[in-house]
Structure 1
Amino acid sequence: MTFLTVWDWLIIGAYFAGVAAVGVWSSRNQKTSTDYFLAGRNIGWFAIGASLFASNIGSEHLVGLAGSGAKSGVAMAHYELHAWCLLVLGWVLVPFYTRSGVATMPEFLERRYNPATRWILSLVSLTAYVFTKVSVTVYAGGLVIQTLLPELTLFGMSSFWVGAITVVLLTGAYTVFGGLRAVVYTDAMQAMVLIAGSLCITAIGLYQLGGWDELRALSGSERLNLWRPASDPDFPWPGMLFAAPIVGLWYWCTDQYIVQR
C-alpha cells in the first residue's frame, strides 16, 4: 500500500483552504436575495462556463463514468456530447428566462400554468437530486477517500464515511454561507483542478499501458465504437440518436442545477 507523503497532505490542505477562502470571500457584500440566489446577476462569462463544467463533471463522473467506460466502452460518451444543448440554452432560453424575471424553473411553471405545477416539479426535482445526484456524488467522494486512506478512522467511522461526511459538510458550508456566488467561484477553481488532474491521469495511464496503440489493441474495436447496433442492450443507435437529445435538452436547458448558473 502506498501512503500519502507530506507533500500530498500539504497539497490537499492547500486545496481545502483555497475552497474555504473563496467561499468566505464570495459571501461578502451580499445584501439582497438576488445577490444570494443569483449572485447579483453579474458573474463573468469565464466563471459561469467553468462552473457549468464543474457542475456537470464531478466525482461521480470521474469514478462512475470512467468505470462505465472501462466496462462497456465509449458509447456512454453520447450523453456528454449533448453539451451542444448549452447553445440552445444561451441563445434561446436564457433571454426568455431573464425577461420572465424568474429565479427557478418551478417558478416559471407556476407563472405559465398554476401553483400545483410548481409544487409537482419541485417535489420531482428534489427527489431526483437526492437519489441520483447528491447520493451518487457523496458516495463517489467517500469511495475516493476510502481508496486513498483505507486506514483512516474517526469516532469509530471508516474512511468511507469520513470522506462522505466531509464532502457534505464542506460543500454545504460554502453553499449556505456564500450563496450562488461562492458556488460559482469554487466551481471555477475546481474545474481547473478537474481538467489538470484528468489530463495527468490520462497521460500517466497511457504511458503505463504502453500508449494509444496498446489501448486500442487491448480494448478492441467494439469498445471504442461510439455507435452500437440497434440490438445492443445498453446503447442501441436509434435510442442514442433520437432519445438521448431529448434527455440532453432537459438536462442542459431546464434542469435547475444547470440553468441557475
Structure 2
Amino acid sequence: MSWLDWLIVFVLNGSVIAFGFYLARSTKSSSDWFLGGRSLPWWGLGLSIFATSVDNADAVSLTGYAYNHGMHIITAFTLASVCGAILASFIVVPVLYRGGFYTNAEYLETRFGKSIRTISALIQIQYRTSMLGLMIWSIYLMLQGILEFTPVQCWALIVLLVIFTAAYTTWGGLTSVVWTDALQSLIMIAGGIAIFCAVWSASGGWSETVQKLSESTDEQGQPLINWLHIGQFQDANSTSPYLIVIGWTIVGLGYYTVNHTQTMRLMGARSLWDMKMATLFGCLLIMPIMIGTTLMGVMGRVIVPEFTDHSAADQLFPYYANQFLAPGFKGLVVAGILSAAISTFDSIGSALSALFTRDIYARWICTDQTEKHYLKVTRWATIGILLMGFLYIPFIVRYDNMIQAFRTLIPIFVTPLFTIYLLGVLTRVPRESGLVGLIAGSLFGLLGFIDRELFDLEWLSPMLTEKWYAFPCSMIVTATAMFAAAIKWGWLKKEALPEKKQPEVSPKHDWLSESRQELLEIKLSPFSKPVPQYLNPNWYAILLIALSFWIIFGFFW
C-alpha cells in the first residue's frame, strides 16, 4: 500500500474511533448503555443495522462462496433479510418493546420460564462469538493478502483493533455503537462501490461476463452460466434450488430475532415507527452491497478461472484488491473492511455483554448489587466477549470455506430458538412447551451435526440431516414438540399472556426490576399528529418484499 492508502485508512478509521470515545461521555445509566435511552432515530438505526449486518467476513467469504456455489446465497441478504427484518420489527420485537425488556432473552422468562431465558442467552453467546471468530479469521486473510503482513504482524494489528473497539464500546454502550456504526457504514459503502467498479471493469461488464460463463463449464461439466441462475445451479448433491432458498430464508428469519446485536438496536428506537422504518432502511442498503459482493465472486470465474480449489477461493477478494485498485482506492477499500470489522465487533461486544449481565450474572450469580456495579460488570464482559472470538479460529480453519463453517452451527440451537420466539409471540402454547421444544430441536440439531460432520449414521435418513433439509426439519421438530406440549398441558389463556408482566424474580433482584420501570413509556411515532400515509411503514415493507421476490425468482432465477 502507498502512503496515500495508509493516510486514508488512519484518518477515516481513526476519526470514527475518536468519535466513539467522544460520544461515550454522555452514557450515565443502564438505559443509556443498553438501549441508548430509547432515543435513537430510524435513519441512525438503519445505518447501524446495515453496518452490523455487513461485516468484513462477508467480503472474503461471500466472494469465495459465490465463486464455488453461485448466486443462491443472495437469498440470505434479500428475501430472507427483508422477511426476517419485517417479522422482527413489525411483530416480535414490539412485544418486547412494550414490555420494557432490555434483552430478547429477558422476554422468554415471562413467556416460558427462567431456564429458557438462561439457555437463550448462552446460545446467543455461542452463536455470535462463532461469527466473531469468522470475522477475526477473515481480517487475518485480508491483512495477509492485501497488506502482505507476516502472521505476527497480522495478529498484532487484529488485537490492537479489538482493544480500541472494546475501549469505546465498554464506555459508551449502544449510543456510541450506533453512531459510530452510522459513520462506518458510509466508509463501507464507498469502499464497496470502489472495488465493485474495478472488478466490473476487469470482467468486461455484464454482457462479456455472461458470454464467457456461457462458454465455460466447471470441473464436473456444469455450465458456469448456471452460477448466475439460482434455479439452474446444481450443487454436489443435486439439491432442489427451492430447498436452498428455503434454507437461506430460515437463516435470515432467525437472524433478526435470535440475534440480540439486532434486537438491541430495535429496542433502542425512540418509537415503534422508528423501529420499523430502521429495518426497512437497513435492508434497502444491505441488498445492493451484498448482491454486488456476491457478483464479484461469480465474476471471478471469468477473471481468475484457476481458483478452483475451494479453500483458495477465500483469497479472491484480496486478489482483486491487489490487482485492480489504484493508490487511494486501495486505502478506501481497506478502510471500509476495517470499518466493517469494527462496527460488528462493537455490536457483538455490547449485545452479548448485555445478555451476560442481565440474563446470567444479575439473574443468577450476583442478584443484589447497584446499577454502578452491573455497568462495571457489563464493561468487563464486553472485553471478555470480544476475546472469546479467538477460540473459534481452529474450528473455522478446518472448513474449505468460512460460510460453510458458520452454516454448520446454525441448525443445532439457533433455529430451534427462533421457532420458540415465533410460537411464543404468535400462539398460546403453554409455558412448559418452550423447554420441551428447545430440547427436541437441539437434540435433532446435534444428531444432524454428528451425522454430517463426525461419522455417518446409516440408520438415519439423509432427508432429515442433510445441510439444507436441516433448517426446515429443525423448525418442524421444534414446533411439533411444542404443540405436543400444548396438547398435554393445555393452551395458555389469552389473558394470561405475560408480555407486560415483570419476570418472576425474588425481591432481591432490584436492579433488573427497577431498570425495566424506566422503559414503560411507549411512543408509537415521533410525530405529534397521525403518521401520513406516504410514511406508513407497511407500504415500504410490501415494496421491499416484492423487490426481493423479483430479485430471487425473477432476475437471478
TM over 0.5: yes
* CA offset digits 1:103-135 (Å, max 9, x no partner): 11111111212111111111111112222x110
Aligned to 2:177: 183
Please show how residues 46-195 of structure 1 align to structure 2 within 5 Å.
46-81=43-78, 82-84=80-82, 85-131=84-130, 133-151=131-149, 158-195=152-189
Contact 2:143/2:149 (8 A) holds in 1: no
Distance 1:149 1:241 in 2: 36
Give 1:13 deviation, angstroms.
0.9
For 1:200 and 1:75, locate their aligned partners in 2 and report how far apart those are by CA, in whole Å.
24
Of 199, 208, 215, 1:214 maps to 208
Deviating more after overlay: 88-97 vs 108-117: 88-97
Quote how far apart the aligned CAs of 1:43 are: 1.0
Query: Partner residue of 1:248?
Result: 252
1:244 positional shift: 3.1
User: Is structure 2 residue 18 aligned with structure 1 residue 14?
Assistant: no
> How much has 1:209 moved relative to structure 2?
2.1
More displaced stretch, 93-102 vs 36-45: 93-102
- Counterpart AA for 1:193: I
Deviation at 1:69, TM superposition (A): 1.1
SS of equivalent to 2:226? coil
Could you tell me how far 1:228 is from its partner in structure 2?
Answer: 4.3
Larger RCO, structures 1/2 (Cα 8 Å, 6+ apart)? 1
C-alpha displacement of 1:253:
2.7
Contact 1:60-1:140 at 8 Å conserved across structures: yes
Give 1:149 deviation, angstroms. 2.4
Moved more, 41-50 or 158-167: 158-167
Residue identity matched to 1:203? C
Measured in 2, the distance between the counterparts of 1:221 and 1:107 equals: 48
Query: What is the letter of the counterpart of residue 92 of structure 2?
Result: L
Q: Does 1:260 align with 2:252?
A: no
Q: Structure 1 residues 159 and 212, CA, compared in 2 at 3 Å: closer, same or farther? A: farther
Pair 24,199 (structure 1): closer, same or farther in 2 beyond 3 Å: same
1:200 alignment partner, SS class: helix
Q: Tell me if the contact between 2:75 and 2:249 (Cα under 8 Å) persists in the aligned partners.
A: no
The one-character-per-residue Cα deviations of 1:205-257 (angstroms, maximum 9, x if unpaired) are 11122222222233332000122468763863232343433322211233212
Which consecutive residues of structure 1, in runs of 5 or more, have no partner in the other structure? none
Contact 2:128 2:259 in 1 (8 A): no
The alpha-carbon distance between structure 1 residues 180 and 241, as it changes in their structure 2 partners (threshold 3 A), is same
CA contact (8 A) 1:26 1:178 kept: yes
Cα RMSD after superposing both structures: 2.0
Find the structure with the greater CA-based Rg: 2
Deviations 1:25-64 (A, max 9, x none): 2212211110011111111111100111111111010111
Query: Partner letter of residue 165 of structure 1?
Result: V
Moved over 6 A (4+): none
CA distance in 1, matches of 2:164, 2:157: 10
Q: Say which SS state the counterpart of residue 233 (structure 1) adopts.
A: coil
How many percent of aligned residue pairs carry the same amino acid? 27
Q: 1:150 & 1:230 partners in 2: Cα distance?
A: 36
**Residue identity matched to 1:18:** S
TM-score, length basis structure 1: 0.89
Q: TM-score, normalised by structure 2?
A: 0.43
